[in-house]
Amino acid sequence: MSFTLQLAIVLACLFYGARKGGIALGLLGGIGLVLLVFGFHLPPGKPPVEVMLTIVAVVAASATLQASGGLEVMLQAAEKVLRRNPRYVSILAPFTTCTLTILCGTGHVVYTMLPIIYDVAIKNDIRPERPMAASSIASQMGILASPVSVAVVSLAAFLAKAPVGGTVVDFVMLLSITIPSTLAGVLAIGIFSWFRGKDLDQDEEFQARIADPEVRKHVYGESTTLLGKKLAAGQWLAMWIFLGAIAVVATLGAFEALRPAVNGKPLSMILTIQMFMLLAGALIIVFTKTDPAAIGRNEVFRAGMIAVIAVFGIAWMADTVFEANLPALKAALSEVVRNHPWAYALVLLVVSKLVNSQAAAVSAMVPVALSIGVPPGYIVAFAAASYGYYILPTYPSDLATIQFDRSGTTRIGRFVINHSFILPGLIGVATSCLVGLVLASARGLV
């Protein structure tokens, strides 16, 4: 009964925080913590300090890249690919946004691409919902394939403490499974999206809307493009500095002998990423004309800081409850988890929706899963299930996609759950989990 009440407090904080949105999600964790520690006398859990600091470092570097204009170099290259192949925009656009996320470590880089994707689609009479909803989903799926994302670094840190048959699932092995499984999921989304919905010329609702000349002008509008824009040398330099830092991180992850030894062991990848992301941001400021004051004002920085507070409050609250009740949880769930390891994926998916963060979901659930006996191989295989916040259309990238689609084809349905992102999300995550399971099995992890 005591655990049931404690869990009810956690869920109430999650639901209310998610309803309020933004920074409230993390702050509501404070209410739960006070009730659990002072009301139920539970020992406080451990706040995920390493995860939070990694978020800060990655966000600082990514926000500096955006403030320097270096992100525009990547976006311009992506736009060239889309405009040269407009017929295949429903497949190419999600791969484009996924790639940007892999490089930058955050899905919030999608915002600048959305108006370009819309323009390519509408100007070629392609239903905008097809590439736009797929691109929003793919931008978040790319987080599990990024060597500089907090979710991947956190997952690697947890798995390093849980060998599989004597084999440690290191940073490189993890990415060797999550990258191809993520790309397979994105491909499945693109193929589905190519055929979804009615063509614009057969969509009665759309045709009725554009019958009004003013609405038609608004829908088709003027082109949004970065093509033809002259990019300064400093923007190119900023991009190469950022990509160079990512390349160094990936290399150090692949060859641990290159990392300095600390207490007889190679420097951890969490600290390595923190150092090189801070270094990348510093070099961009030193060698370009980036205004440091502009870094804290852009979207990437704001979204990242919200993520820090969300991870702080939610993960700390969850750790407090589960750590205090670990013996009972092991006794009750161990057998179920051993016989039905896929149940872990469903729980992770739901928790991700509640916390609206893959990093927070991983930080809250992976330690619990390992402690109650979930085989580490399944945690690797089902990593994609940490993305479940497409289930309800409340995430900023999904809401932004709806706003950027002036045609009205990307939308929230009458029953809320029947929105434009639910099917691409389910298809993408399910495909990634299945491919991840196959790859993990082939590596002897399952």
Nearest-5° angle of CA 42, CA 314, CA 310? Answer: 150
Residue 175 has pLDDT above 70, yes or no: yes
Poorest-pLDDT segment among 45-49, 115-119, 384-388: 45-49
Query: How many C-beta neighbours within 10 Å does residue 375 have?
Result: 20
**Exposure of 40 by Cβ count < 10 A (0-12 exposed, 13-18 middle, 19+ buried)?**
middle
| Residue 94: per-residue pLDDT | 96
Q: Which of 56-60, 107-111, 284-288 has the lowest mean pLDDT?
A: 107-111
Report pLDDT for 331.
Answer: 67
pLDDT at 364: 77
Report the pLDDT value the prediction gives residue 207, as an integer from 0 to 100. 93
Average pLDDT rounded to a whole number, residues 175-191:
96
Q: Averaging pLDDT over each range in 17-26, 91-100, 346-355, which range is the top one?
A: 91-100
pLDDT over 90, % of the chain: 36
Query: Can you tell me the mean pLDDT for 165-191?
Result: 90
**How does the average pLDDT of the chain come out, rounded?**
86
d(CA 327, CA 321): 12
Q: Give pLDDT, residue 22.
A: 64
Query: What per-residue confidence (pLDDT) applies to 19?
Result: 67
> How far apart (Å, rounded) are the C-alpha atoms in residues 3 and 395?
30
User: What would the pLDDT profile of 40-78 be if each residue is shown by its tens digit?
Assistant: 999 998 887 876 787 788 788 888 988 998 888 888 888
Confidence of residue 21 (pLDDT cuts 50, 70, 90): low
